[in-house]
Structure 1
């Protein structure tokens, strides 16, 4: 029953997040992104739920119920989430390579993605060090928030922002993939429910802030307007996952 609850919550999460984005992010292609506090409501609420859950007994009990229910049905671990977390973000580059153009060119979208990745990585790493929450499998004390989930939702919001003027379904697919990553992190006993909820919030808000910062970043650090060829790909060195970028000058 709790597994069903978790699935329903993840589904509602995806729907509500996308509804919020559609309502508040109404910029046209040529408009400069501007701060809109309404678009922060849902990601802030997600982060708030996760933070409150660090001490709230009722939320902790709900975490434990989900863990107990899922552990009773797990036959083997699915590690697909390790690489799938990058799928939404990389899809932007794949779609452009196929000729389906998004909002920004290679240089500009890479500035935005790089900024979002730095913001997300810094905040998630900082929160892990600050909170030191034990993982459900007792492997370490870096459970809160979920970095995999944050990365996936960061990419999903990036995909949505780049292609919302082309088709809403690109964004829907990105959020569905991100929700799947979140579910697998719980299923594989690597995170509590509050970890992935907060991770989703951190990921989404990182991308939104990156878009707001983009004009300043481009004007300050990337004055050359010439577009360049390049490639973005995930990397794995045996211990860590990340995104690598190569550009030809």
Structure 2
């Protein structure tokens, strides 16, 4: 799997460090941090309250639900797996199961989880190809920054991204399914006409 190339990729990315990348990749870092995790859903939901937009409120709620599920999953896996971070210099195959120290909580990447969760929910809700490209590019920059800053292995970011995408799509699809059930329903109504008993199928859109 990806772990077999983790060390090689890590060394190659870090070798190309420069001032431009130092500054540019910080955008990705901020997008995956805790205040983005808390702030973006609150801003979206709050905008829905202020402007009386059900769509914004729903998007905010989906962000909160998805981030909570993805965040809990990632946090538990970090502790259970206990993988050493690259800067610990323990190698890519060093695992310390049931470890709570940050230096040994590399897998999965929390920043990547947050970034891809947010991008997935917003992409699903906006439903525009250009918005999706921008959102997923931003999340990918977050994942790249985690490797670039020597905080994570490549495989850490892939698992974090997978968790975020899965959570975002799950809750977005669940909402869409709920709306579909609300939009289209049917009833079977008994009828009595001239002594004949029958049934009518009534569709509600």
- TM-score, structure 2 normalization: 0.64
Q: Tell me whether 1:178 sits opposite 2:122 in the alignment.
A: no
> 1:196 matched to which residue of 2?
157
Equivalent runs, 1:135-146 vs 2, <5 Å:
135-138=85-88, 140-146=103-109
Partner SS state of residue 137, structure 1 = helix
Counterpart in the other structure of 1:151: 114
Match of 2:28 in 1: 81
CA contact (8 A) 2:112 2:139 kept: yes
1:192 to 1:153, Cα distance in 2 relative to 1, 3 A: same
Which has the greater radius of gyration? 2
Is 1:71 the counterpart of 2:18? The answer is no
Q: Look up the SS of the partner of 1:140 in the other structure.
A: helix
Match of 2:185 in 1: none
Cα offset, 1:72, TM superposition: 2.1
Which residue of 113, 120, 131 corresponds with 2:70? 120
Pick from 90, 107, 132: which aligns with 2:57? Answer: 107
Structure 1 spans left out of the alignment, 5+ residues: 1-52, 54-58, 219-249
* Shift of residue 211, structure 1, vs aligned partner: 2.1
Distance 2:167 2:3 in 1: 26
1:132 corresponds, among 82, 86, 105, to 82
Superposed, which structure 2 residues align to 1:1-249 within 5 Å? Answer: 53=1, 59-75=2-18, 77=22, 79-85=26-32, 86=36, 90=40, 105-138=55-88, 140-164=103-127, 167-214=128-175
TM-score (norm 1): 0.54
Aligned partner of residue 129 in structure 1, secondary structure: helix
The structure where helix makes up a greater share of residues is 2
Task: State the 1:111 CA deviation.
Answer: 1.6
Contact 1:92–1:159 (8 Å) recurs in 2: no
Kindly indicate whether the alpha-carbon contact (under 8 Å) linking 1:92 and 1:162 is maintained by their aligned counterparts in 2: no
Question: How much does 1:119 deviate?
Answer: 0.5
2:91 alignment partner in structure 1: none
User: What do residues 151-208 of structure 1 show as CA deviations (whole Å, max 9, x unaligned)?
Assistant: 11111111111111xx321111000101111111111101101011111100011111
